[in-house]
């Protein structure tokens, strides 16, 4: 059975990354998106961290299995807790992913007619 991610898990991951001015999470459908400098770089689903597979995240290859973050998604790196808690390079890796992504498009307001 799939369960929603606990806010404590998102808080733990943010705490491990440090840099509260650079990282944030937004709740979505009972899970969380992880943002680096305002750009979505990972998901926190089922109390697990899923990082986008990109050239900037290649350092996770071999250390993380690949798995979909949610049903129907592309594979992401499933980052184990020991890497979240013990790898001081994870924050920099996530920031590099963010540097390579465009800013999310602003939502256009619906016109009433």
Q: Looking at residue 22, what is its pLDDT? A: 93
Helix, strand and coil in the chain, % to nearest 5: 30, 30, 40
Q: Looking at residue 109, what is its pLDDT? A: 65
CATH node for 7-100: 3.30.1460
Q: Looking at residue 38, what is its pLDDT? A: 92
In the chain, where does DSSP find H-type helix? 7-17, 81-86, 90-100
**CA 66 to centroid of chain Cα atoms:** 14
Q: Consecutive sets of 10 residues in the chain, 113 residues long: mean pLDDT of each?
A: 77 91 91 93 94 92 92 93 89 92 71 58
pTM: 0.84
């Amino acid at each position: 059975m799939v369960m929603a991610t606990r806010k404590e898990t998102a808080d733990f991951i943010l705490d491990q990354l440090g840099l509260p001015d650079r990282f944030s999470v937004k709740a979505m459908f009972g899970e969380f998106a992880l943002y680096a400098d305002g750009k979505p770089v990972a998901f926190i689903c089922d109390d697990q961290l899923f990082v986008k597979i990109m050239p900037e995240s290649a350092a996770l290859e071999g250390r993380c299995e690949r798995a979909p973050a949610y049903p129907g998604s592309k594979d992401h790196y499933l980052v184990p807790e020991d890497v979240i808690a013990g790898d001081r390079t994870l924050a920099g890796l996530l920031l590099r992913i963010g540097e390579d992504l465009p800013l999310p498009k602003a939502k256009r307001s619906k016109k009433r007619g």
